[in-house]
Structure 1
Amino acid sequence: MKLDILVFGAHPDDAELGAGGTIAKEISRGKKVGIVDLTRGELGTRGSADIRDSEAAAAAKILGVTVRENLQFADGFFVNDKSHQLEVIKMIRKYQPDIVLCNAVDDRHIDHPKGSQLVSDSCFLSGLIKIDTKAEGDEQWQDPWRPRAVYHFIQWKNLEPDFVVDVTGFIERKNEAILAYSSQFFDPNSDEPETPISSKNFIDSVTYRARDLGRMVGVEYAEGFNVERFAAVDNLDALI
């Protein structure tokens, strides 16, 4: 199955937090979008891996993604090595995305920049013809595939984006998908330990960051991304 966009996140909820508005907007434009979570988030202070599995499925349904998979790498301990790269390559070749979105290049959680570099390296390696891979259950070797572009969404740290996507009209869908992870975020009735992302301030920050980025470019809401090569437009009218 070919997808237009494949989104990788180190943990379930990374894709929603970093690019939920963009995902929802692209789907509304008829694009086929998938999500691959690298881990089940089993080291998270609140909830459990099983709960996160259910929450991720609910969030995927809210966004309307075509497919969501989990590579079940070790939360906190996965590394950017050959064995992990090959598993990511299998996903890239399986879905043949034109665009890959992935974790922030720098962030508070160590898995985010690790996941960012792992996916970026795997996107390059996936295009090499002499690397042989088979998807699980398949008899045939996969064809090489290299995405046209890799973009990194912004997470905890306030990195300066290289470009922003106008997500006006999609912030409510993004927030609904985020709040599907009810074990992780603000709940005044929860007995779970407090974490940096469980405060009301954090969940409010998702909207006010998008509003601030939107303000900077003259729209209501926006999400920011970093690039690996120059961002180009077809003509000056393509800029908003």
Structure 2
Amino acid sequence: MPGHNGRMKLDLLAIGVHPDDVELGCSGVLIKERMRGKKVGIVDLTEGELGTRGTVETRYAEAAEAGRIIGVSARENLRMRDGFFRNDEEHQMKLIAALRKYQPDIVIGNVLEDRHPDHGRAGHLIYDACFLSGLRQVKTYDDAGNEQEKWRPKYLLHYIQDRFYEPDVIVDISDVWEERLQSILAYRTQFHDPNSSEPQTYISSPEFLDAITARARMLGKRIGVRFAEGFLSKKNIGISNLDALVLQET
């Protein structure tokens, strides 16, 4: 539940330009952190209204089901225009208000460049908003009209989407792989359904889901586990001692 001045403190906030971006990119980490007692949440930037399959209404229902599977403490949609939002002051301020509302220690967002132009544009919007959110002179207000406190996440990571990039961080998600897959399959209108009469798309073929599994296996092999997710970071990630490099057996 929201706390003082409408805040809901989260440990981890995942941001996706389209509903299902987060599930495809980092749902394993969200589930794993939630199982460790962390509060996780999702912000979708658009309603995915330009998608070939499904409707805005079905996307909301699917996002709610996916959020239930992941176990999010909060999920909201900022209703930016799919395909036409910009990384400008108006959109930055809207995202800054959300960041200050949830005060996440870590943000995971869209990649900075990808096949879909919305992904890269969203990645840069998230990057800029995370920085600007930490500036006291940038003023935002909650729904009740109260001025929000400045807030800058300690880390911003970017999940790998269509194009492959060498990750800076790889996280073992082997123990939550089935839950991760179920969160993706919650988007029944978007992915492979042999009974669907809607047009086929790039992501609705069975090969697309095969590729998602293959990538997770490949990243897992890099660190000696079954499945993993990879992330990019423009900020160097430091450790306090070499014990942090030891991969614990699951």
Q: TM-score, normalised by structure 1?
A: 0.98
Which one-letter code corresponds to 1:194 in the other structure? Q
The CA RMSD measured in Å over matched residues stands at: 0.8
- Match of 2:118? 111
Aligned counterparts of 1:7 and 1:122: Cα–Cα separation in 2: 14
- Match of 2:223? 217
Q: Which of 4, 7, 12 in structure 2 is aligned with 1:5? A: 12
- Match of 1:201? 207
* Cα offsets for 1:26-55 (capped at 9, x unmatched): 000111001000000000011111110110
Alignment of 1:101-140 (within 5 A): 101-136=108-143, 138-140=144-146
- Match of 2:189? 183
Cα distance, 1:153 vs. partner?
0.4
Aligned counterparts of 1:181 and 1:68: Cα–Cα separation in 2: 16
Q: Which of 159, 162, 167 in structure 1 is aligned with 2:165? A: 159
- Match of 1:65? 72
Aligned counterparts of 2:240 and 2:55: Cα–Cα separation in 1: 46
Structure 2 unaligned segments of length 5 or more: list them. 1-7
Aligned counterparts of 1:24 and 1:123: Cα–Cα separation in 2: 23
Cα distance, 1:234 vs. partner?
2.2
Of 94-103 and 224-233, deviating more is: 224-233
Cα distance, 1:139 vs. partner?
3.0
Cα distance, 1:160 vs. partner?
1.1
1:144 aligns with 2:150: yes
Aligned counterparts of 1:59 and 1:128: Cα–Cα separation in 2: 33
What secondary structure is seen at the aligned counterpart in 2 of 1:93? helix
Structure 1 unaligned segments of length 5 or more: list them. none
Which one-letter code corresponds to 2:196 in the other structure? S
Q: Which of 82, 94, 103 in structure 2 is aligned with 1:75? A: 82
Cα distance, 1:140 vs. partner?
1.4
Alignment of 1:20-35 (within 5 A): 20-35=27-42
- Match of 2:53? 46
Which one-letter code corresponds to 1:228 in the other structure? K
Aligned counterparts of 1:230 and 1:142: Cα–Cα separation in 2: 29
Cα distance, 1:217 vs. partner?
1.0
1:170 aligns with 2:170: no
Sequence identity of aligned pairs in percent?
53
Which one-letter code corresponds to 2:61 in the other structure? S
Maintained 8 Å contact 1:5/1:33: yes
Q: Which of 49, 62, 81 in structure 2 is aligned with 1:55? A: 62
Q: TM-score, normalised by structure 2?
A: 0.94
Which one-letter code corresponds to 1:82 in the other structure? E
- Match of 2:26? 19
Aligned counterparts of 1:208 and 1:232: Cα–Cα separation in 2: 30
* Cα offsets for 1:137-162 (capped at 9, x unmatched): x2310000000010000011111111
Maintained 8 Å contact 1:7/1:15: yes
Aligned counterparts of 2:239 and 2:170: Cα–Cα separation in 1: 13
Cα distance, 1:189 vs. partner?
1.3
Alignment of 1:85-104 (within 5 A): 85-104=92-111
What secondary structure is seen at the aligned counterpart in 2 of 1:223? strand
- Match of 2:5? none
What secondary structure is seen at the aligned counterpart in 2 of 1:169? helix
What secondary structure is seen at the aligned counterpart in 2 of 1:155? coil
Cα distance, 1:163 vs. partner?
1.1
What secondary structure is seen at the aligned counterpart in 2 of 1:159? coil
